[in-house]
Structures are given as C-alpha cells and as structure tokens.
Amino acid sequence: MTTKQGVEGFVEPRTAVNDVTLLLVAHDGEWTRRRVPSVKWAHDFANRHQVPSYDAAVVGVPQRMRDYNRRKKAGGI
C-alpha cells in the first residue's frame, strides 16, 4: 500500500458463499481483494495503515474500479 496513492478500503461482509473480504482500490482503479478474519480486523488494518475504510454493503464499490476493469478488458491496460 505504500507504493500506491489514494488507496481506499471497502470491507465486504460474509455471505453464504464468501468470507469477509477487504477490497483495496487505488486512485486509478487498480484493486486487490483479500479474505480477512473479520470485519473488525479489516477496519483495524485500514486504520493502522491510514487507509480510509467503508462498508461495501452500504456504499458499494467505487466507479473508478469498474472503469479500470473495463479499460483492462478492452486492452487499454
């Protein structure tokens, strides 16, 4: 995270098929998703690394991530 600027964390809750995940999205939309032990752990991790974190179930995922995926699929990345 120290090499990317404008990183935000989106904590995705446990579902019937997925564990809790932390989605980290950079300012340009590049992203990574990792399974984490709990929602609290994800927010604590983000706080320790001075990354704003949000509940994805409430705010959704950022448009820049969808734009990044679209560019990547089109071969622009």
CB half-sphere exposure, 71, CA atoms < 13 A: 11
3-state secondary structure of 72: helix
Q: What is the pLDDT of residue 4?
A: 62
Q: What is the pLDDT of residue 76?
A: 64
pTM score of the predicted model: 0.88
* Angle, alpha carbons 13-19-25 (nearest 5°): 60
Q: Exposed, middle or buried: residue 24 (CB in 10 Å: 0-12, 13-18, 19+)?
A: buried
Residue 68 has a CB neighbour count (10 Å cut-off) of 19
Q: What average pLDDT values come out for the chain (77 residues) when binned by 10 residues?
A: 78 96 97 97 97 97 96 83
Q: What is the pLDDT of residue 5?
A: 72
Q: What is the pLDDT of residue 3?
A: 62
